[in-house]
Chains A and B, each alone.
Chain A
C-alpha cells in the first residue's frame, strides 16, 4: 500500500523531524499542514492522502478537534490517525481515545516507536 502522509503540526521543526523519520523508514510521499483547519482543507483538496500524523496543541484548530471532525465526516471517518504530542497524562490520552484516534505517541518520539505505531495501525486497517 502506497502511503501518502498528512503531517499536521504548528512547529515546522517537528514537521521536518517527522518527515525525516518517515523518509528513514522508506516513505516518500508527504503533505504538510500547520493546524487542524489547514489539514481539513488539504484533505478536502487531496483525496490521495491516506494517513494522518497530527500534533494536539495547535492554534486555530487543535489536533483533537481535527480527529473529531474527521470521525464525523462520512468520507473520512475511517482515515488512520496517529497523534504525536507532548500531552502524556492519562486524562489526555483517554480524551484522544474517546475521539477515536488510532494510536498515540508521546513526544519526544523515537523512530522505533513511530515505525511500530504506523505498522500497528496498518495491520488493524488491513
Chain B
C-alpha cells in the first residue's frame, strides 16, 4: 500500500516538475529578452552616467565664470564712478571759473559806466562805452555756458544712477549661480545612485532657492513705479492703522 502511495506521490511530483519545465520553456524567451534589454540598457545607463559626470564637472567652471562677470562689472562700474567723480569735479571747477569771469565782467561794465559818468557823459565818452560793450560782451557768451554745465552735471549724475543696474544684475547672477550649484548637487547625487544601482530612481523634487540669502532672486532693473507705489500704499495703510490705534487708546 505504501509503495503504491509513494509511486503516486512520485508521479504527482514528476507532473509538477513537468509543469515547471513547461513554464520554464515559456519563460526562457522572456528571460532572453530581458537579458538582451539589459545588455542594451546598461551601456546606455553608463553613457548617461558619463554625460552627467562630464556635465557636472563643467558646472564649477560655469559658476566661476559667472562670478568673474560680477567682479568685472563691479570693477568697470567703480571705474565709471571714478570717472564721473572726476568729470563732476572738473565741471564744478570750470563752472566756478566761468561764474568768476561773469562777475568780473559785470564789475568791468560798472567801471565803464562810472568812467563814462566821470568823463561828463560827453558824446565821445558814450560812443567809446558803446564800442566797449559791443567788443567785449563776454557775459552773453558765458551765461549759456553755465546752463550747459548744469545740464552736463545732471546728465553725468543720471549716468551714475543708472549704474544701480550693476547691483541688480549682480544679484540676478548670484541667483543663477545658486541654481546651477543646486543642479550640480542633484546631478552628483544621481551619479552616486547610478553607481549603487544601475537603475536608480531620479529625485524629481524641485530645486529650492532660499529666500533669506545675500541675493534677491526676483531682482530686476525696472523703471516702472508699480512696486514703489505698492510699498508706499502699504506704508500709508500701516501709518493710518497706527493712528487709528492711538485714537482708540485715547477713547478707550
Contacts and interface: CB of A to CB of B under 8 A. Distances in A.
Interface of A: 9-14, 16-17, 20-21, 24, 56-59, 62, 64, 85-90, 93-94, 97, 103-111, 113
Given A13-B74, A86-B216, A87-B216, A94 B234 contact: yes
B214 A59 contact: yes
Contacts of B238: 97
A110 B161 contact: yes
B167 interface: yes
B233 to A, nearest CB: 9
Given A57-B215, A86-B216, A104 B231 contact: yes
27 contacts: A10-B214, A11-B170, A13-B74, A13-B163, A16-B78, A20-B160, A21-B161, A64-B212, A86-B168, A86-B218, A86-B219, A87-B218, A87-B219, A88-B228, A88-B230, A90-B230, A93-B231, A93-B235, A94-B234, A97-B234, A104-B234, A105-B231, A106-B227, A106-B231, A107-B167, A108-B162, A108-B222
Interface string B158-195: 00111111111011000000000000000000000000
B228 A113 contact: yes
B213 interface: yes
Contacts of B171: 57, 86
A106 B235 CA distance: 13
Nearest to B170: A11
Contacts of A86: 167-168, 171, 216, 218-220
Interface in B54-111: 74, 77-78, 81
Contacts of A62: 212, 214
Nearest to A10: B214
A88 B225 CA distance: 11
B132 interface: no
A97 B165 CA distance: 26
Most B C-beta atoms less than 10 A away, residue of A14, A16, A88: A88
A51 B191 CA distance: 53
B231 A14 contact: no
Nearest to A114: B161
B214 A14 contact: no
B21 interface: no
Given A11-B166, A86-B218, A57 B231 contact: no
B157 interface: yes
A57 B216 contact: yes
B167 A56 contact: no
B11 interface: no
Contacts of A13: 74, 77-78, 81, 163-164, 166-167
Given A17-B81, A108-B165, 12 more contacts: A9-B167, A13-B81, A56-B216, A57-B215, A59-B214, A93-B234, A94-B234, A103-B235, A106-B227, A106-B228, A108-B164, A111-B161
Contacts of A90: 230, 234
A17 B163 contact: yes
